[in-house]
Amino acid sequence: MTKNIKLALAGAGAFGIKHLDGIRNIDGVEVVSLVSRELEKTKEVAAKYGIGHVTTDLADSLALKEVDAVILCTPTQMHAAQSLACLKAGKHVQVEIPLADSLKDAQAVVDLAKQTGLVAMCGHTRRFNPSHQYVKQQISAGTFNIQQMDVQTYFFRRTNTNALGQPRSWTDHLLWHHAAHTVDLFAYQCGSPIVQANAVQGPIHPTLGIAMDMSIQLKAQSGAICTLSLSFNNDGPLGTYFRYIGDSATYIARYDDLFTGKEEKIDVSQVAVSMNGIELQDREFFAAIREGREPNASVASVLPCYQVLHQLEQQLG
């Protein structure tokens, strides 16, 4: 495929904007359709980014013959059904994390992607952040092996708000969304499947209907362990912070930045062509389409993560 990849993007919220900003830096890609819930706000975003087609219905975008691929930045509960719709319409699809909020739905997307031969990818961004890529390179070179990962995923989100503090139309989830990042990354970095997983959770919020605090323990076949703490109750620094404790070093990863265990910053600017994990994720999606290959973070390759999440959900009851 030498022509421009023509893209529809669904979800013009905080994360959709991150994708639009990243795509601006990628040659040979044109966003031709924008889908989101509120028409006037969607029109404003479309005008800012020079997107010609605006709609509140994904089906309208999928009906456009010129659309080659779709990026879905929509509510978690819509991910699987919308991914299936894209594949049935003959469009390559990248769906933001999580792939689904049940193992059954995740498996359905994997099965249809295999049948169609289309590129189907899930936005497991941690695989692409330069910080985590640097650690992966050390592991691949044989100079670093993970003994333990200690991960904190903290937000202050006692109401339905997004990363910009705006009201959400849906409810977020610690297990099926935020834990998915770490469960997948741990197995990916270790190059070893997860063989043991345990979880406990705090009280269910009376209005939101979800646990606001959770603790997860993982063990890989390699022997490495991971401790993950998650909270929507933390009134302090927000986001996810990863401590890699290894046999030769300790690394602390904060999104695209990396530090030693003594908080000395490590230069990761040469790890990839960008310092933006979202942009790198999108570059992989478009490269896989052009090259006719399976992308890193294909839906098939991340399915083991959702198998573990399913197992944890059964434990939590």
Q: What is the pLDDT of residue 5?
A: 98
Give the span between the Cα atoms of 297 and 4, in whole angstroms. 23
Q: Which CATH architecture has domain 5-124+277-297?
A: 3-Layer(aba) Sandwich (3.40)
Does the domain formed by 129-271 have CATH 3.50.50.60?
no
| Domain residue limits, the chain | 5-124+277-297, 129-271
Whether the pLDDT of residue 213 is over 70: the answer is yes
Cβ pair 171, 186 in contact under 8 A:
no
Which of the four pLDDT bands, split at 50, 70 and 90, describes residue 310?
Answer: very high
Average pLDDT of the segment spanning 248-255? 97
Q: Among 22-31, 201-210, 242-251, 308-317, which is the least confidently predicted range?
A: 201-210
Give the span between the Cα atoms of 305 and 189, in whole angstroms. 13
Find where tokens 């309208």 sit: 60
Find where tokens 């013009």 sit: 12
Q: Among 75-89, 155-169, 197-211, 236-250, which is the least confidently predicted range?
A: 155-169
Average pLDDT of the segment spanning 34-49? 96
Which of the four pLDDT bands, split at 50, 70 and 90, describes residue 156?
Answer: confident
Number of C-beta neighbours around residue 18 at 10 A: 20
DSSP string of 39-104?
HHHHHHHHHHHT--EEES-HHHHHT-TT--EEEE-S-GGGHHHHHHHHHHTT-EEEEESPS-SSHH
Q: Is the dihedral of CA 198, 203, 204, 205 positive or negative?
A: negative
Report the b/e string of 273-303 with b at 16+ CB within 10 A: ebbbbbbbbbbbbbebbeeeeebbbbbbbbb
Whether the pLDDT of residue 1 is over 60: the answer is no
Give the span between the Cα atoms of 240 and 132, in whole angstroms. 13
Give the span between the Cα atoms of 213 and 233, in whole angstroms. 7
Element (H, E) at 196: strand 194-201
Whether the pLDDT of residue 165 is over 90: the answer is no
Query: Which residues have a Cβ under 8 Å from the Cβ of 3 and sit 6 or more positions away?
Result: none
Q: What is the pLDDT of residue 251?
A: 98
Give the span between the Cα atoms of 132 and 37, in whole angstroms. 34
Average pLDDT of the segment spanning 272-298? 97
Which of the four pLDDT bands, split at 50, 70 and 90, describes residue 46?
Answer: very high
Task: Name 241's bridge partners.
Answer: 152, 254
Q: What is the pLDDT of residue 207?
A: 86
* Three-class SS of 247-269: CCCEEEEECCEEEECCCCEECCC
Give the span between the Cα atoms of 237 and 57, in whole angstroms. 36
Q: What is the pLDDT of residue 168?
A: 61
pTM of model > 0.85: yes
**Apex 257 CA angle, 254 and 261, nearest 5:** 70
Task: Name 96's bridge partners.
Answer: 123
Q: What is the pLDDT of residue 161?
A: 67
Whether the pLDDT of residue 160 is over 80: the answer is no
Q: Reduce the DSSP state of residue 176 to 3 states and report it.
A: helix
Residue 280 identity? L
Q: Which of 89, 95, 93 has the alpha carbon at shortest distance from 74?
A: 95
Whether the pLDDT of residue 163 is over 80: the answer is no
Average pLDDT of the segment spanning 47-73? 98
Give the span between the Cα atoms of 272 and 274, in whole angstroms. 5
Dihedral in degrees, nearest 10, Cα atoms 87, 60, 290, 128: -80
